[in-house]
Structure 1
Protein backbone atom coordinates (compact mmCIF):
# COMPACT_ATOMS: atom_id res chain seq x y z
CA UNK A 1 0.00 0.00 0.00
CA UNK A 2 1.27 3.40 -0.94
CA UNK A 3 0.73 6.19 1.60
CA UNK A 4 0.37 9.71 0.29
CA UNK A 5 1.89 12.29 2.59
CA UNK A 6 0.79 15.85 1.96
CA UNK A 7 3.02 18.80 2.65
CA UNK A 8 2.18 20.70 5.83
CA UNK A 9 -0.25 23.52 5.30
CA UNK A 10 0.91 26.95 6.41
CA UNK A 11 -1.71 29.44 7.48
CA UNK A 12 -1.30 32.83 5.90
CA UNK A 13 -0.04 35.46 8.34
CA UNK A 14 -2.78 37.57 9.87
CA UNK A 15 -1.96 41.22 9.27
CA UNK A 16 -4.17 43.91 10.77
CA UNK A 17 -3.79 47.61 10.07
CA UNK A 18 -5.50 50.45 11.86
CA UNK A 19 -6.51 52.44 8.77
CA UNK A 20 -7.14 51.80 5.08
CA UNK A 21 -3.93 53.43 3.70
CA UNK A 22 -1.77 51.05 5.72
CA UNK A 23 -3.95 48.15 4.57
CA UNK A 24 -3.33 49.19 0.96
CA UNK A 25 0.43 49.18 1.51
CA UNK A 26 0.27 45.78 3.22
CA UNK A 27 -1.84 44.41 0.36
CA UNK A 28 0.98 45.18 -2.08
CA UNK A 29 3.50 43.27 0.04
CA UNK A 30 1.12 40.35 0.70
CA UNK A 31 0.09 39.87 -2.92
CA UNK A 32 -0.38 36.17 -3.68
CA UNK A 33 -0.11 35.16 -0.02
CA UNK A 34 -3.00 36.75 1.80
CA UNK A 35 -5.17 39.80 2.33
CA UNK A 36 -4.58 42.20 5.24
CA UNK A 37 -7.47 43.27 7.42
CA UNK A 38 -8.30 46.81 8.50
CA UNK A 39 -9.60 47.84 11.90
CA UNK A 40 -11.41 51.10 11.18
CA UNK A 41 -14.17 51.55 8.62
CA UNK A 42 -13.31 54.11 5.93
CA UNK A 43 -15.85 56.59 7.27
CA UNK A 44 -14.64 56.38 10.89
CA UNK A 45 -12.38 58.99 12.45
CA UNK A 46 -9.00 57.50 13.47
CA UNK A 47 -8.71 60.18 16.14
CA UNK A 48 -11.50 58.82 18.29
CA UNK A 49 -13.03 55.42 17.58
CA UNK A 50 -14.78 53.01 19.93
CA UNK A 51 -13.64 49.45 19.40
CA UNK A 52 -16.21 46.67 19.44
CA UNK A 53 -15.56 43.31 21.15
CA UNK A 54 -14.96 41.76 17.72
CA UNK A 55 -12.34 44.46 17.02
CA UNK A 56 -10.56 43.64 20.27
CA UNK A 57 -10.44 39.96 19.28
CA UNK A 58 -8.93 40.83 15.91
CA UNK A 59 -6.25 42.95 17.57
CA UNK A 60 -5.42 40.11 19.95
CA UNK A 61 -5.30 37.39 17.28
CA UNK A 62 -3.33 39.20 14.56
CA UNK A 63 0.27 38.16 13.95
CA UNK A 64 1.23 41.71 12.99
CA UNK A 65 -0.52 45.01 13.74
CA UNK A 66 0.43 48.25 12.01
CA UNK A 67 -0.82 51.65 13.10
CA UNK A 68 0.40 55.20 12.63
CA UNK A 69 0.87 55.99 16.32
CA UNK A 70 -0.70 57.85 19.23
CA UNK A 71 -0.68 61.11 17.26
CA UNK A 72 -3.40 59.65 15.05
CA UNK A 73 -5.08 56.64 16.72
CA UNK A 74 -5.15 57.93 20.28
CA UNK A 75 -7.54 55.15 21.33
CA UNK A 76 -5.15 52.27 20.47
CA UNK A 77 -2.19 52.31 22.90
CA UNK A 78 -4.04 50.74 25.83
CA UNK A 79 -5.49 48.06 23.56
CA UNK A 80 -2.12 47.14 22.07
CA UNK A 81 -0.42 46.86 25.45
CA UNK A 82 -2.00 43.46 26.01
CA UNK A 83 -0.92 41.94 22.70
CA UNK A 84 1.56 39.09 22.41
CA UNK A 85 2.28 39.62 18.73
CA UNK A 86 4.30 42.44 17.17
CA UNK A 87 2.72 45.88 16.92
CA UNK A 88 4.41 48.57 14.85
CA UNK A 89 3.73 52.28 15.27
CA UNK A 90 5.06 53.43 11.92
CA UNK A 91 5.56 57.03 13.07
CA UNK A 92 8.44 55.71 15.23
CA UNK A 93 10.24 54.05 12.33
CA UNK A 94 13.69 55.45 11.52
CA UNK A 95 14.34 57.56 8.43
CA UNK A 96 10.74 58.64 7.83
CA UNK A 97 10.24 62.20 6.67
CA UNK A 98 7.97 63.69 9.33
CA UNK A 99 6.21 67.03 9.33
CA UNK A 100 4.82 68.97 12.25
CA UNK A 101 1.88 71.35 12.15
CA UNK A 102 2.97 74.95 11.87
CA UNK A 103 5.79 74.22 9.42
CA UNK A 104 5.73 76.69 6.51
CA UNK A 105 2.14 77.68 7.17
CA UNK A 106 -0.13 78.07 10.12
CA UNK A 107 -2.81 75.62 11.13
CA UNK A 108 -6.52 75.87 11.50
CA UNK A 109 -6.85 76.41 15.25
CA UNK A 110 -5.15 79.81 15.23
CA UNK A 111 -7.74 82.60 15.31
CA UNK A 112 -7.96 84.87 12.29
CA UNK A 113 -7.42 88.05 14.24
CA UNK A 114 -3.96 86.83 15.35
CA UNK A 115 -2.69 86.40 11.79
CA UNK A 116 -1.18 89.87 11.30
CA UNK A 117 2.27 88.42 10.68
CA UNK A 118 1.17 86.02 7.97
CA UNK A 119 2.37 86.74 4.44
CA UNK A 120 -0.81 87.90 2.69
CA UNK A 121 0.63 86.96 -0.71
CA UNK A 122 0.81 83.29 0.26
CA UNK A 123 -2.61 83.48 1.94
CA UNK A 124 -1.74 80.76 4.41
CA UNK A 125 -4.15 81.97 7.07
CA UNK A 126 -6.67 79.48 8.32
CA UNK A 127 -9.92 79.70 10.20
CA UNK A 128 -11.53 77.14 12.45
CA UNK A 129 -13.23 76.31 15.67
CA UNK A 130 -11.41 74.23 18.23
CA UNK A 131 -12.64 70.70 18.98
CA UNK A 132 -11.04 67.40 20.01
CA UNK A 133 -9.64 66.90 16.53
CA UNK A 134 -8.05 70.34 16.54
CA UNK A 135 -6.19 69.55 19.76
CA UNK A 136 -4.30 66.83 17.87
CA UNK A 137 -3.37 69.36 15.18
CA UNK A 138 -1.92 72.13 17.30
CA UNK A 139 1.28 73.83 16.04
CA UNK A 140 4.31 71.71 16.87
CA UNK A 141 2.42 68.40 17.00
CA UNK A 142 3.14 65.65 14.52
CA UNK A 143 1.26 65.68 11.25
CA UNK A 144 0.37 61.99 11.21
CA UNK A 145 -0.81 61.81 7.59
CA UNK A 146 2.65 60.54 6.72
CA UNK A 147 1.48 57.87 4.24
CA UNK A 148 0.78 60.56 1.65
CA UNK A 149 4.50 60.91 0.90
CA UNK A 150 5.59 58.06 -1.40
CA UNK A 151 9.07 57.79 0.11
CA UNK A 152 7.55 57.20 3.55
CA UNK A 153 5.34 54.53 2.04
CA UNK A 154 8.35 52.78 0.53
CA UNK A 155 9.96 52.57 3.97
CA UNK A 156 6.74 51.27 5.52
CA UNK A 157 6.50 48.56 2.84
CA UNK A 158 10.12 47.55 3.48
CA UNK A 159 9.38 47.17 7.18
CA UNK A 160 6.30 45.08 6.45
CA UNK A 161 8.26 42.78 4.12
CA UNK A 162 10.92 42.28 6.79
CA UNK A 163 8.35 41.51 9.49
CA UNK A 164 6.42 39.13 7.25
CA UNK A 165 9.59 37.24 6.37
CA UNK A 166 10.23 36.63 10.07
CA UNK A 167 6.65 35.49 10.69
CA UNK A 168 6.35 33.48 7.46
CA UNK A 169 9.83 32.54 6.17
CA UNK A 170 8.35 30.06 3.68
CA UNK A 171 7.14 33.00 1.58
CA UNK A 172 10.22 35.19 2.04
CA UNK A 173 11.06 35.25 -1.66
CA UNK A 174 7.51 36.25 -2.55
CA UNK A 175 7.52 39.14 -0.08
CA UNK A 176 10.80 40.42 -1.49
CA UNK A 177 9.55 40.17 -5.07
CA UNK A 178 6.34 41.97 -4.14
CA UNK A 179 8.33 44.70 -2.42
CA UNK A 180 10.61 45.15 -5.44
CA UNK A 181 7.62 45.43 -7.77
CA UNK A 182 5.85 47.88 -5.46
CA UNK A 183 8.92 50.10 -5.18
CA UNK A 184 9.23 50.23 -8.96
CA UNK A 185 5.56 51.13 -9.33
CA UNK A 186 6.02 53.92 -6.77
CA UNK A 187 8.95 55.32 -8.76
CA UNK A 188 6.95 55.26 -11.97
CA UNK A 189 3.92 56.84 -10.29
CA UNK A 190 6.03 59.57 -8.71
CA UNK A 191 7.31 60.63 -12.15
CA UNK A 192 3.78 60.61 -13.54
CA UNK A 193 2.30 62.65 -10.68
CA UNK A 194 5.05 65.27 -10.82
CA UNK A 195 4.34 65.84 -14.50
CA UNK A 196 0.58 65.90 -13.89
CA UNK A 197 0.66 68.35 -11.00
CA UNK A 198 3.47 70.71 -12.02
CA UNK A 199 1.16 73.00 -14.05
CA UNK A 200 -1.07 73.45 -10.97
CA UNK A 201 1.58 75.02 -8.73
CA UNK A 202 0.43 78.38 -7.41
CA UNK A 203 -3.27 77.92 -8.11
CA UNK A 204 -5.33 78.81 -5.00
CA UNK A 205 -7.38 76.23 -3.16
CA UNK A 206 -8.75 75.61 0.31
CA UNK A 207 -9.34 72.45 2.32
CA UNK A 208 -11.69 71.67 5.18
CA UNK A 209 -9.07 69.51 6.89
CA UNK A 210 -5.30 69.92 6.93
CA UNK A 211 -4.49 66.39 5.87
CA UNK A 212 -2.57 66.81 2.63
CA UNK A 213 0.67 68.59 3.54
CA UNK A 214 2.89 65.56 2.83
CA UNK A 215 1.39 65.14 -0.63
CA UNK A 216 1.58 68.88 -1.33
CA UNK A 217 5.21 69.03 -0.24
CA UNK A 218 6.12 66.08 -2.47
CA UNK A 219 4.48 67.62 -5.55
CA UNK A 220 5.07 71.36 -5.21
CA UNK A 221 1.58 72.42 -4.12
CA UNK A 222 0.29 74.43 -1.15
CA UNK A 223 -3.22 75.11 -0.02
CA UNK A 224 -4.19 78.74 0.51
CA UNK A 225 -6.06 78.08 3.73
CA UNK A 226 -7.99 75.66 5.91
CA UNK A 227 -11.68 76.23 6.42
CA UNK A 228 -12.03 73.87 9.35
CA UNK A 229 -15.57 73.36 10.55
CA UNK A 230 -16.20 71.36 13.71
CA UNK A 231 -18.56 68.43 13.27
CA UNK A 232 -19.75 68.94 16.83
CA UNK A 233 -20.21 72.71 17.16
CA UNK A 234 -22.34 74.91 14.92
CA UNK A 235 -20.18 77.92 13.97
CA UNK A 236 -21.46 81.38 14.82
CA UNK A 237 -22.23 84.15 12.38
CA UNK A 238 -18.87 85.86 12.92
CA UNK A 239 -16.97 82.67 12.18
CA UNK A 240 -18.94 82.08 8.99
CA UNK A 241 -18.35 85.70 7.91
CA UNK A 242 -14.59 85.32 8.45
CA UNK A 243 -14.45 82.20 6.30
CA UNK A 244 -16.50 83.86 3.56
CA UNK A 245 -14.18 86.85 3.57
CA UNK A 246 -11.18 84.58 3.13
CA UNK A 247 -12.81 82.87 0.15
CA UNK A 248 -13.84 86.23 -1.32
CA UNK A 249 -10.27 87.52 -1.08
CA UNK A 250 -8.97 84.50 -2.96
CA UNK A 251 -11.03 85.12 -6.09
CA UNK A 252 -11.74 82.08 -8.29
CA UNK A 253 -10.72 79.09 -6.21
CA UNK A 254 -11.39 75.46 -5.35
CA UNK A 255 -12.51 74.13 -1.98
CA UNK A 256 -11.90 70.47 -1.21
CA UNK A 257 -13.86 68.41 1.28
CA UNK A 258 -13.39 64.74 2.19
CA UNK A 259 -15.80 61.87 1.71
CA UNK A 260 -18.29 60.64 2.63
CA UNK A 261 -20.01 64.04 2.86
CA UNK A 262 -19.38 67.73 2.29
CA UNK A 263 -19.76 70.03 5.33
CA UNK A 264 -23.29 71.42 5.50
CA UNK A 265 -21.97 74.98 5.54
CA UNK A 266 -20.19 74.66 2.21
CA UNK A 267 -22.93 76.24 0.13
CA UNK A 268 -23.49 79.01 2.69
CA UNK A 269 -19.80 79.87 2.66
CA UNK A 270 -19.59 79.99 -1.11
CA UNK A 271 -22.92 81.53 -2.14
CA UNK A 272 -22.33 84.15 -4.81
CA UNK A 273 -18.56 83.51 -4.90
CA UNK A 274 -16.51 81.99 -7.75
CA UNK A 275 -15.86 78.79 -5.80
CA UNK A 276 -15.69 75.25 -7.16
CA UNK A 277 -16.15 72.25 -4.86
CA UNK A 278 -14.46 68.86 -5.17
CA UNK A 279 -13.28 65.99 -2.96
CA UNK A 280 -9.86 64.84 -1.80
CA UNK A 281 -9.63 61.52 -0.01
CA UNK A 282 -6.65 60.93 2.27
CA UNK A 283 -7.98 57.65 3.69
CA UNK A 284 -8.93 55.68 0.59
CA UNK A 285 -12.68 55.73 1.13
CA UNK A 286 -14.19 52.85 -0.86
CA UNK A 287 -10.88 51.47 -2.16
CA UNK A 288 -10.36 47.71 -2.06
CA UNK A 289 -7.18 46.18 -0.56
CA UNK A 290 -5.64 45.26 -3.90
CA UNK A 291 -1.92 45.27 -4.75
CA UNK A 292 -2.39 48.55 -6.66
CA UNK A 293 -4.67 50.15 -4.10
CA UNK A 294 -2.09 52.58 -2.72
CA UNK A 295 -1.21 53.84 -6.19
CA UNK A 296 -4.92 54.39 -6.78
CA UNK A 297 -5.13 56.44 -3.58
CA UNK A 298 -2.44 58.85 -4.79
CA UNK A 299 -3.80 58.88 -8.34
CA UNK A 300 -7.23 59.83 -7.00
CA UNK A 301 -5.69 62.72 -5.06
CA UNK A 302 -3.87 63.94 -8.14
CA UNK A 303 -6.97 63.64 -10.33
CA UNK A 304 -9.12 65.37 -7.72
CA UNK A 305 -6.79 68.35 -7.54
CA UNK A 306 -6.28 68.60 -11.28
CA UNK A 307 -9.96 68.11 -12.06
CA UNK A 308 -10.86 71.29 -10.18
CA UNK A 309 -7.75 73.47 -10.41
CA UNK A 310 -7.41 73.17 -14.19
CA UNK A 311 -10.56 75.28 -14.52
CA UNK A 312 -9.12 78.25 -12.58
Structure 2
Protein backbone atom coordinates (compact mmCIF):
# COMPACT_ATOMS: atom_id res chain seq x y z
CA UNK A 1 0.00 0.00 0.00
CA UNK A 2 1.53 3.30 -1.06
CA UNK A 3 1.51 6.28 1.26
CA UNK A 4 0.36 9.45 -0.44
CA UNK A 5 3.20 11.92 -1.06
CA UNK A 6 3.49 15.69 -1.24
CA UNK A 7 6.61 15.68 -3.40
CA UNK A 8 8.85 18.75 -3.53
CA UNK A 9 6.39 20.83 -1.53
CA UNK A 10 7.01 22.12 1.99
CA UNK A 11 5.52 19.86 4.65
CA UNK A 12 2.29 20.90 6.30
CA UNK A 13 2.53 22.80 9.56
CA UNK A 14 3.09 20.36 12.36
CA UNK A 15 0.65 22.08 14.68
CA UNK A 16 0.53 24.02 17.90
CA UNK A 17 1.79 21.07 19.94
CA UNK A 18 5.08 21.18 18.00
CA UNK A 19 5.41 24.93 18.57
CA UNK A 20 4.89 24.41 22.27
CA UNK A 21 7.43 21.64 22.61
CA UNK A 22 10.01 23.58 20.61
CA UNK A 23 9.56 26.58 22.89
CA UNK A 24 10.34 24.37 25.86
CA UNK A 25 13.22 22.47 24.33
CA UNK A 26 14.89 25.57 22.91
CA UNK A 27 15.18 26.96 26.43
CA UNK A 28 17.15 23.90 27.45
CA UNK A 29 19.59 23.90 24.55
CA UNK A 30 20.77 27.45 23.97
CA UNK A 31 24.13 26.31 22.67
CA UNK A 32 24.42 23.02 20.81
CA UNK A 33 28.20 23.24 20.87
CA UNK A 34 28.40 23.42 24.66
CA UNK A 35 29.61 19.89 25.39
CA UNK A 36 29.74 20.70 29.10
CA UNK A 37 25.91 20.58 29.08
CA UNK A 38 25.99 16.89 28.22
CA UNK A 39 27.27 14.34 25.73
CA UNK A 40 27.17 15.08 22.03
CA UNK A 41 24.19 13.71 20.13
CA UNK A 42 23.60 13.29 16.41
CA UNK A 43 20.07 13.03 15.02
CA UNK A 44 19.48 11.86 11.44
CA UNK A 45 16.26 12.19 9.49
CA UNK A 46 16.34 8.55 8.33
CA UNK A 47 18.32 5.48 9.27
CA UNK A 48 20.13 5.73 5.93
CA UNK A 49 21.83 8.93 7.03
CA UNK A 50 21.97 7.58 10.56
CA UNK A 51 24.14 4.72 9.30
CA UNK A 52 26.47 7.13 7.51
CA UNK A 53 26.71 9.31 10.62
CA UNK A 54 27.37 6.31 12.87
CA UNK A 55 30.21 5.21 10.61
CA UNK A 56 31.88 8.55 11.28
CA UNK A 57 30.93 8.94 14.94
CA UNK A 58 31.97 5.42 15.88
CA UNK A 59 31.57 4.77 19.59
CA UNK A 60 32.18 8.40 20.53
CA UNK A 61 28.70 9.80 19.86
CA UNK A 62 25.16 8.48 20.11
CA UNK A 63 23.31 8.61 16.77
CA UNK A 64 19.50 8.53 16.64
CA UNK A 65 17.39 8.20 13.47
CA UNK A 66 13.87 9.62 13.33
CA UNK A 67 12.55 7.44 10.48
CA UNK A 68 13.40 3.76 10.65
CA UNK A 69 10.18 2.09 9.48
CA UNK A 70 9.67 1.23 5.79
CA UNK A 71 6.05 2.40 6.04
CA UNK A 72 7.08 5.97 6.87
CA UNK A 73 7.38 8.40 3.96
CA UNK A 74 9.85 11.24 4.63
CA UNK A 75 8.08 13.47 2.07
CA UNK A 76 4.95 13.69 4.20
CA UNK A 77 6.21 12.62 7.63
CA UNK A 78 4.94 14.68 10.56
CA UNK A 79 6.98 14.76 13.74
CA UNK A 80 5.68 13.92 17.18
CA UNK A 81 6.65 16.26 20.03
CA UNK A 82 9.25 13.66 21.04
CA UNK A 83 10.75 13.64 17.52
CA UNK A 84 10.81 17.42 17.44
CA UNK A 85 12.58 17.55 20.79
CA UNK A 86 15.26 15.13 19.56
CA UNK A 87 15.97 17.29 16.51
CA UNK A 88 15.83 20.50 18.51
CA UNK A 89 18.22 19.27 21.20
CA UNK A 90 20.72 17.51 18.91
CA UNK A 91 24.31 18.69 18.75
CA UNK A 92 24.29 17.86 15.03
CA UNK A 93 21.38 17.18 12.66
CA UNK A 94 22.04 15.18 9.48
CA UNK A 95 19.32 15.16 6.86
CA UNK A 96 18.74 14.56 3.17
CA UNK A 97 17.33 17.92 2.11
CA UNK A 98 16.09 18.75 -1.37
CA UNK A 99 12.44 18.49 -0.31
CA UNK A 100 12.80 14.85 0.69
CA UNK A 101 12.54 15.22 4.49
CA UNK A 102 11.01 18.70 4.99
CA UNK A 103 9.93 17.87 8.54
CA UNK A 104 13.54 18.47 9.63
CA UNK A 105 13.61 21.98 8.20
CA UNK A 106 10.22 22.66 9.81
CA UNK A 107 11.68 21.83 13.22
CA UNK A 108 14.93 23.71 12.60
CA UNK A 109 13.12 26.85 11.44
CA UNK A 110 10.92 26.74 14.57
CA UNK A 111 13.82 26.07 16.88
CA UNK A 112 13.66 29.26 18.91
CA UNK A 113 16.41 30.96 16.93
CA UNK A 114 19.12 28.51 17.99
CA UNK A 115 21.78 29.77 15.59
CA UNK A 116 24.43 27.50 17.14
CA UNK A 117 22.80 24.24 16.08
CA UNK A 118 24.91 22.45 13.48
CA UNK A 119 23.48 20.67 10.47
CA UNK A 120 24.64 18.66 7.46
CA UNK A 121 22.34 18.81 4.42
CA UNK A 122 23.32 16.05 1.96
CA UNK A 123 21.41 17.50 -0.99
CA UNK A 124 23.12 20.83 -0.39
CA UNK A 125 26.44 19.08 -0.89
CA UNK A 126 25.21 17.69 -4.20
CA UNK A 127 24.26 21.20 -5.28
CA UNK A 128 27.68 22.51 -4.27
CA UNK A 129 29.24 20.08 -6.75
CA UNK A 130 26.97 21.11 -9.63
CA UNK A 131 29.55 23.36 -11.26
CA UNK A 132 32.10 20.55 -11.57
CA UNK A 133 29.76 17.59 -12.11
CA UNK A 134 27.21 17.31 -14.89
CA UNK A 135 24.17 16.30 -12.86
CA UNK A 136 21.44 17.41 -15.22
CA UNK A 137 18.18 17.92 -13.33
CA UNK A 138 18.89 17.29 -9.65
CA UNK A 139 17.17 14.30 -8.06
CA UNK A 140 16.76 14.45 -4.29
CA UNK A 141 17.40 10.75 -3.62
CA UNK A 142 21.07 11.50 -3.07
CA UNK A 143 21.88 8.50 -0.87
CA UNK A 144 22.26 6.64 -4.17
CA UNK A 145 24.96 9.12 -5.25
CA UNK A 146 28.26 7.81 -3.83
CA UNK A 147 30.09 11.11 -4.29
CA UNK A 148 27.47 13.00 -2.28
CA UNK A 149 27.45 10.35 0.45
CA UNK A 150 31.25 10.63 0.69
CA UNK A 151 31.01 14.42 0.94
CA UNK A 152 28.34 14.05 3.62
CA UNK A 153 30.54 11.76 5.71
CA UNK A 154 33.41 14.24 5.46
CA UNK A 155 31.10 17.10 6.48
CA UNK A 156 29.93 15.10 9.50
CA UNK A 157 33.56 14.52 10.50
CA UNK A 158 34.28 18.25 10.20
CA UNK A 159 31.27 19.19 12.33
CA UNK A 160 31.98 16.59 15.02
CA UNK A 161 35.63 17.60 15.05
CA UNK A 162 34.68 21.19 15.83
CA UNK A 163 32.19 20.10 18.49
CA UNK A 164 34.66 17.65 20.04
CA UNK A 165 38.23 18.71 19.17
CA UNK A 166 39.76 16.03 21.37
CA UNK A 167 38.38 13.32 19.10
CA UNK A 168 38.64 15.20 15.79
CA UNK A 169 41.36 12.89 14.48
CA UNK A 170 39.22 9.84 15.23
CA UNK A 171 36.21 11.27 13.38
CA UNK A 172 38.38 12.09 10.38
CA UNK A 173 39.95 8.64 10.37
CA UNK A 174 36.49 7.06 10.54
CA UNK A 175 35.31 9.20 7.62
CA UNK A 176 38.36 8.24 5.59
CA UNK A 177 37.75 4.55 6.31
CA UNK A 178 34.12 4.97 5.25
CA UNK A 179 35.29 6.70 2.07
CA UNK A 180 37.51 3.73 1.27
CA UNK A 181 34.65 1.30 1.83
CA UNK A 182 32.52 3.19 -0.69
CA UNK A 183 34.78 1.68 -3.36
CA UNK A 184 32.93 -1.59 -2.78
CA UNK A 185 29.90 0.05 -4.39
CA UNK A 186 31.72 1.87 -7.18
CA UNK A 187 33.59 -1.29 -8.13
CA UNK A 188 30.23 -2.86 -8.96
CA UNK A 189 28.79 0.17 -10.77
CA UNK A 190 32.02 0.64 -12.73
CA UNK A 191 31.78 -3.00 -13.78
CA UNK A 192 28.21 -2.51 -14.97
CA UNK A 193 29.24 0.57 -16.94
CA UNK A 194 32.10 -1.33 -18.57
CA UNK A 195 30.08 -4.37 -19.58
CA UNK A 196 26.46 -3.21 -19.76
CA UNK A 197 26.78 0.52 -20.44
CA UNK A 198 23.77 1.93 -22.26
CA UNK A 199 21.46 -0.94 -21.29
CA UNK A 200 17.81 0.22 -21.14
CA UNK A 201 15.92 -0.24 -17.87
CA UNK A 202 12.62 0.93 -16.40
CA UNK A 203 11.73 2.21 -12.93
CA UNK A 204 8.45 2.54 -11.07
CA UNK A 205 9.79 5.86 -9.78
CA UNK A 206 13.20 7.55 -10.00
CA UNK A 207 14.51 6.47 -6.60
CA UNK A 208 17.68 4.85 -7.97
CA UNK A 209 18.45 7.64 -10.44
CA UNK A 210 22.08 8.03 -9.34
CA UNK A 211 22.71 4.30 -9.16
CA UNK A 212 21.64 4.00 -12.78
CA UNK A 213 23.62 7.09 -13.75
CA UNK A 214 26.80 5.77 -12.15
CA UNK A 215 26.23 2.41 -13.86
CA UNK A 216 25.79 4.16 -17.25
CA UNK A 217 22.43 2.51 -17.90
CA UNK A 218 19.44 4.29 -19.42
CA UNK A 219 16.09 4.80 -17.70
CA UNK A 220 13.57 4.74 -20.58
CA UNK A 221 10.40 4.82 -18.48
CA UNK A 222 7.84 7.43 -19.60
CA UNK A 223 8.43 10.47 -17.38
CA UNK A 224 4.71 10.90 -16.87
CA UNK A 225 4.53 7.44 -15.28
CA UNK A 226 7.40 7.84 -12.81
CA UNK A 227 6.41 11.42 -11.94
CA UNK A 228 2.82 10.41 -11.14
CA UNK A 229 3.89 7.46 -9.00
CA UNK A 230 6.42 9.58 -7.12
CA UNK A 231 3.78 12.22 -6.38
CA UNK A 232 1.27 9.65 -5.17
CA UNK A 233 -0.99 10.06 -8.20
CA UNK A 234 -2.38 7.61 -10.72
CA UNK A 235 -0.47 7.74 -14.02
CA UNK A 236 -2.37 8.54 -17.20
CA UNK A 237 -3.71 5.52 -19.05
CA UNK A 238 -1.39 6.23 -21.98
CA UNK A 239 1.67 6.28 -19.71
CA UNK A 240 0.64 3.00 -18.08
CA UNK A 241 0.17 1.39 -21.48
CA UNK A 242 3.53 2.68 -22.73
CA UNK A 243 5.27 1.40 -19.60
CA UNK A 244 3.69 -2.04 -19.88
CA UNK A 245 4.73 -2.18 -23.53
CA UNK A 246 8.37 -1.78 -22.50
CA UNK A 247 8.12 -5.25 -20.95
CA UNK A 248 5.81 -7.02 -23.36
CA UNK A 249 8.03 -5.92 -26.27
CA UNK A 250 11.18 -6.66 -24.23
CA UNK A 251 12.51 -3.14 -24.77
CA UNK A 252 14.19 -3.08 -21.33
CA UNK A 253 16.60 -5.38 -19.53
CA UNK A 254 15.34 -4.87 -15.97
CA UNK A 255 12.67 -3.21 -13.84
CA UNK A 256 13.88 -1.22 -10.82
CA UNK A 257 11.04 -1.47 -8.30
CA UNK A 258 10.57 0.59 -5.11
CA UNK A 259 9.07 -1.91 -2.69
CA UNK A 260 8.10 0.80 -0.18
CA UNK A 261 5.60 2.60 -2.42
CA UNK A 262 3.77 -0.11 -4.32
CA UNK A 263 0.10 0.06 -5.29
CA UNK A 264 -2.20 -1.59 -7.82
CA UNK A 265 -0.55 0.22 -10.74
CA UNK A 266 3.05 -0.60 -9.83
CA UNK A 267 2.17 -4.17 -8.86
CA UNK A 268 0.55 -4.62 -12.28
CA UNK A 269 3.70 -3.26 -13.94
CA UNK A 270 5.82 -5.68 -11.95
CA UNK A 271 3.57 -8.59 -12.87
CA UNK A 272 3.81 -7.59 -16.53
CA UNK A 273 7.62 -7.50 -16.33
CA UNK A 274 7.82 -10.88 -14.60
CA UNK A 275 5.44 -12.46 -17.10
CA UNK A 276 7.73 -11.26 -19.89
CA UNK A 277 10.80 -12.68 -18.15
CA UNK A 278 12.23 -9.24 -17.27
CA UNK A 279 14.26 -9.32 -14.00
CA UNK A 280 13.09 -7.11 -11.13
CA UNK A 281 15.59 -5.22 -8.96
CA UNK A 282 14.07 -4.19 -5.63
CA UNK A 283 15.12 -0.87 -4.08
CA UNK A 284 13.95 0.95 -0.98
CA UNK A 285 14.28 4.19 0.94
CA UNK A 286 15.17 3.04 4.45
CA UNK A 287 17.96 0.79 5.60
CA UNK A 288 17.06 -2.93 5.72
CA UNK A 289 17.43 -4.49 9.15
CA UNK A 290 20.87 -5.86 9.91
CA UNK A 291 22.75 -3.96 7.18
CA UNK A 292 24.83 -0.80 7.21
CA UNK A 293 24.88 1.68 4.35
CA UNK A 294 27.82 0.11 2.53
CA UNK A 295 26.41 -3.41 2.71
CA UNK A 296 22.98 -2.28 1.56
CA UNK A 297 24.15 -0.26 -1.43
CA UNK A 298 26.68 -2.89 -2.48
CA UNK A 299 23.95 -5.53 -2.45
CA UNK A 300 21.65 -3.26 -4.49
CA UNK A 301 24.35 -2.59 -7.10
CA UNK A 302 25.09 -6.33 -7.31
CA UNK A 303 21.39 -7.05 -7.82
CA UNK A 304 21.34 -4.61 -10.73
CA UNK A 305 24.44 -6.21 -12.22
CA UNK A 306 22.92 -9.68 -11.94
CA UNK A 307 19.67 -8.53 -13.55
CA UNK A 308 21.52 -7.11 -16.55
CA UNK A 309 23.54 -10.29 -17.24
TM-score by length of 1: 0.71
Q: Report the Cα distance in structure 1 between the residues aligned to 2:87 and 2:130, rounded to whole angstroms.
A: 26
Q: Report the Cα distance in structure 1 between the residues aligned to 2:257 and 2:179, rounded to whole angstroms.
A: 30
SS at match of 2:172: helix
Deviation at 1:192, TM superposition (A): 4.5
Tell me, which stretches of 5 or more residues in structure 2 are unaligned? 1-34
Matches within 5 A, 1:54-73: 54-73=82-101
Matches within 5 A, 1:8-157: 12-43=39-70, 44-83=72-111, 84=114, 85-93=117-125, 96-98=128-130, 142-157=138-153
Matches within 5 A, 1:1-312: 12-43=39-70, 44-83=72-111, 84=114, 85-93=117-125, 96-98=128-130, 142-187=138-183, 189-195=185-191, 198-225=194-221, 227-228=225-226, 230=229, 232-234=232-234, 238-251=238-251, 253-260=253-260, 262-266=262-266, 268-269=268-269, 270-271=271-272, 273-288=275-290, 293-310=292-309
Distance 1:89 1:242, change over 3 A: same
Q: Report the Cα distance in structure 2 between the residues aligned to 1:91 and 1:235, rounded to whole angstroms.
A: 27
SS at match of 2:84: helix
Q: Report the Cα distance in structure 2 between the residues aligned to 1:39 and 1:303, rounded to whole angstroms.
A: 28
Deviation digits for residues 228-263 of structure 1 (CA, Å, limit 9, x no counterpart): 364855556555333323433444632221124644
Q: Do the aligned residues in 2 keep the contact of 1:12 with 1:33 (CA within 8 Å)? A: no
**Number of equivalenced pairs:** 262
- The 10-residue stretch of structure 1 (262-271 or 75-84) with the greater mean CA deviation from structure 2: 262-271
Tell me, which stretches of 5 or more residues in structure 1 are unaligned? 1-7, 105-139
Deviation at 1:164, TM superposition (A): 0.4
Say which one has the larger Rg: 1
Distance 1:213 1:232, change over 3 A: closer
Deviation at 1:178, TM superposition (A): 0.8
RMSD of the TM alignment (CA)? 3.2
Q: Do the aligned residues in 1 keep the contact of 2:202 with 2:252 (CA within 8 Å)? A: no
Deviation at 1:163, TM superposition (A): 0.5
Q: Do the aligned residues in 1 keep the contact of 2:281 with 2:307 (CA within 8 Å)? A: no
Q: Do the aligned residues in 1 keep the contact of 2:87 with 2:104 (CA within 8 Å)? A: no
Greater helix percent: which structure? 2
Q: Report the Cα distance in structure 2 between the residues aligned to 1:91 and 1:175, rounded to whole angstroms.
A: 22
SS at match of 2:93: strand
